[in-house]
Chains A and B, each alone.
Chain A
Amino acid sequence: MKNRLKVLRAERDWSQQDLAERLGVSRQSVNAIEKGRYDPSLPLAFTISEVFELPIEAIFGRD
């Protein structure tokens, strides 16, 4: 699954650590999701959506 985390993060000038703190997860988690090495669970995807104030489909998409 591809995602726009890096772009959205850059637009807000957030580091991976900043985003990790907002999501309540580790920096490794953010890195793994951002790089497409790990697909988040639905609850975490909803949390990401809330943090960026965007619908899930605006953040994640099929490869």
Chain B
Amino acid sequence: MGGGMMAYMGGMLMVMYVYNNDMPVGALAYAVPLLPTVPLLAAMGVMGRYMVEETDEYLRHRTSLAALIGLGLVLVVGTLWGFLETFELVPHIWAWWVFPVWAIGLGIGQSLLARYDRIAERAELQFDDENKAAS
């Protein structure tokens, strides 16, 4: 996913450079802007494949929750920004922002859930150690 995001950023910079220096025409005008979407679509494919191939149902469940947190972030940011934009209080932003925002939400969700798990595990290990010491 990280590699995909790097390729996406690189692709975006390249497309902006091409458009700023020499505006492509014809089919190229459509193909060049779609270039950065390739790693994004690949990242979505990898995510989907992980969800299908993950055999541990709890880890799959945790990833689903993190993906929902990402989706929630997209909805909240999109709704707030959309209304502010309607009243011309913030500048217009393009729709491609949804994937980076979703990915940020996914990352936040994964780290929060993993942290919660680590705290629970630490408490369990401490309990086991105390039990062993007592017996």
Q: How far is the CA of A24 from the CA of B58 in the complex (A)?
A: 12
A29: chain B residues at CB < 8 Å are 56-59
- Nearest residue in B to A44 (C-beta to C-beta)? B57
**CB distance B124 to A16 under 8 Å?**
yes
CB–CB B117/A31 < 8 A: yes
The answer to whether B117 and A15 touch across the interface, beta carbons within 8 angstroms, is no
Q: Does B61 contact A (CB under 8 A)?
A: yes
**B85 contacts partner chain A, Cβ-Cβ < 8 Å:** no
A31 surroundings in chain B (CB, below 8 A): 117, 120-121, 124
Do the beta carbons of A26 and B120 come within 8 Å of each other? no
Residues of B within 8 A of A32 (CB): 58, 117, 120
How many A residues touch the partner, as a band? 10 to 19
Q: Which residues from 1 to 17 on chain A have a C-beta closer than 8 Å to any C-beta of chain B?
A: 10, 15-16
CA distance A34 to B128 in the complex (A): 14
Check if B120 sits within 8 Å of A35, measured CB to CB: yes
Tell whether, in the assembled complex, residue A38 and residue B58 are in contact, meaning their CB atoms are under 8 Å apart.
yes
A34 to B125, CA, bound (A): 13
The reply to whether B58 and A15 contact each other, CB–CB distance below 8 Å, is no
Contact B120 A38 (CB under 8 A): no
Nearest Cβ on chain B to A5's Cβ, whole angstroms: 11
Query: If the complex has contacts A15-B128, A16-B124, are A28 and B117 also in contact, measured as CB distance less than 8 A?
Result: yes
Supply 21 A–B pairs (Cβ within 8 Å), ascending by A.
A10-B131, A25-B56, A25-B57, A26-B56, A26-B58, A27-B121, A28-B59, A28-B62, A28-B121, A29-B56, A29-B57, A29-B58, A29-B59, A31-B117, A31-B120, A32-B120, A35-B120, A35-B124, A37-B120, A38-B58, A38-B61
